[in-house]
Structure 1
Amino acid sequence: MQSSATSTPDESNRAPSIANGDQVYVNRAKCHAAMGHLQEAIADYDCAIDINPYNINARLQQGILFRELKLYDDAIVCFGLALFLGGLKAPIYAERGRAYHLDGHWNYAIGDYQQALTILHQSPSPSLVGQIQTWMSELLDH
């Protein structure tokens, strides 16, 4: 093993090679996002996805950050890939709906909001239902 004095800068910034190494990057991305360092957070989510392309949470969170940066197309792609992989369907539809909404694609937004509410009808999450209803009201009041 090389000492940090002789390792390249890229090697010294890598997360340790451990089982669930993607989670190390997800945790660091959450810290970056909480501090407002969104580009760094997105880069860490990229690393997590490189390690585990099936990490749906990393894709969801990265999509939310893209949306916050008004990179709606990138956000929609992240959400679409997360939906393709399965799991967390209601939150993903809700977040993608919000991206469509903010990007002015209101018909797509309503469709995703309704899809999320349909899924949530089977296993309710009051906070997510409330958030979706708020977003739909905001959209329909325009």
Structure 2
Amino acid sequence: MQTTYGILHHENQSFGVSFPDFPGCVTGGATEEEALRKADEVLTFHVAGMVEDGEALPISRTLEDLRLDPDVQEALVDGTIFVARYDVPRKAVRINISMDEGLVEAVDRAAGRINQSRSAFLADAARRRLEELVFDKTG
């Protein structure tokens, strides 16, 4: 998992997030917690798009470098800097798994409704479950 800096902004009863080293990648939420939770997800999605399009990923700047950037200075007037995490996509690996036939059909219907492949749907579900387990404070 890679890291970069994000800026959390309070905007009109909601919160926005931007990433100085990833221009155009933004998200937000009704609460700080929601905006920060979505930040990692949106950044990972943005990076995956860059990789798929053959774009070079930026080198994340240091805090000192960011503090010297006039645009970041302006954003920090009403914002707070935080560390955001993202995954860089790796090579897909084919696996063979067994699942209940009804469950496979339900997965296929759900994936189709959101225009995803079965593999993408199951990968997203696995990522979300892993995040739940990693961030679960009770276990």
What TM-score, normalized to structure 1?
0.29
Instruction: Identify the structure with the greater helix proportion.
Output: 1
Higher RCO (C-alpha 8 Å, min separation 6): 2
What TM-score, normalized to structure 2?
0.29
